[in-house]
A and B are shown apart, each in its own frame.
Chain A
Amino acid sequence: SYVLTQPPSVSVAPGQTARITCGGNNIGSKSVHWYQQKPGQAPVLVVNDDSVRPSGIPERFSGSNSGNTATLTISRVEAGDEADYHCQVWDTSGDQYVFGTGTRVTVL
């Protein structure tokens, strides 16, 4: 089955840029979606289709996808961005959703 790999944690100072990677075999050929999950809350979609922001998501959130790596970038990081971030694809070979292992973003 298809596997998505994320770093367990990323630390960033306020006002700096956080980059969260999601690795998968030829992931650039798939559409990647990202979810933010704050402690004790349900996930929220922050980027769909590699780089599209849903309504209400700040412009500070952006995404890219190429080759074997997709990346979620958070610019001008704020304390409120501290959360777990999960990438996701639909695996057509297995007819299943696949989630990444998740990355905890800590704002220093």
Chain B
Amino acid sequence: EVQLLESGGGLVQPGGSLRLSCEASGFVFSGNAMNWVRQAPGKGLEWVSAISFSGGRTYYADSVKGRFTISRDNSKNMVFLEMHSLRAEDTAIYYCAKDHSPNYPLYYLEYWGQGTLVTVSS
């Protein structure tokens, strides 16, 4: 059974930083790209970032480019999202999601974790 467990969310002040983690199990982690998708309160889904199976290629939404960094550790079955210069509009539930594809082009999101809440507020 595929399981994705996010952690690291919390309350952070505007301009602050946070690191999210996602621990994966139930599949060959090094064989798939991984993604982060967020959902602001009462809003729709917004894709944030993706990383290829090897970590050699990364992708970002325009709204987070230059502020967020995605990475992965295939030896630990984990993917991370380093977030800097956080803004109020970054407040959302952040979901980790397993991609159907290993690499470019990405395709669709087969499995999702339950998410971790990030609140940016003073």
Contacts and interface: CB of A to CB of B under 8 A. Distances in A.
A65 interface: no
B112 A43 contact: yes
A43 B95 CA distance: 9
Interface of A: 1, 31, 33, 35, 37, 41-45, 48-49, 54, 84, 86, 88, 90, 92, 95-102
A90 B107 CA distance: 6
A48 B100 contact: yes
B114 A42 contact: yes
Contacts of B50: 97
A88 B108 contact: yes
Interface of B: 35, 37, 44-47, 50, 59, 61-62, 95, 100, 104-115
B44 A44 contact: no
Contacts, number: 62
Contact of B62 (A1, A45, A88, A99): A1
A90 B105 contact: yes
Contacts of A95: 59, 104
B105 A45 contact: no
Contacts of A101: 44
Nearest to A88: B108
A18 to B, nearest CB: 18
A66 to B, nearest CB: 19
A43 B7 CA distance: 18
Contacts of A100: 44
A42 B106 contact: no
A84 B45 CA distance: 10
Given A48-B100, A96-B59, A90 B106 contact: yes
A44 B98 CA distance: 12
Contacts of A45: 108-111
A41 B39 CA distance: 12
Contacts of B108: 31, 33, 45, 48-49, 88, 90
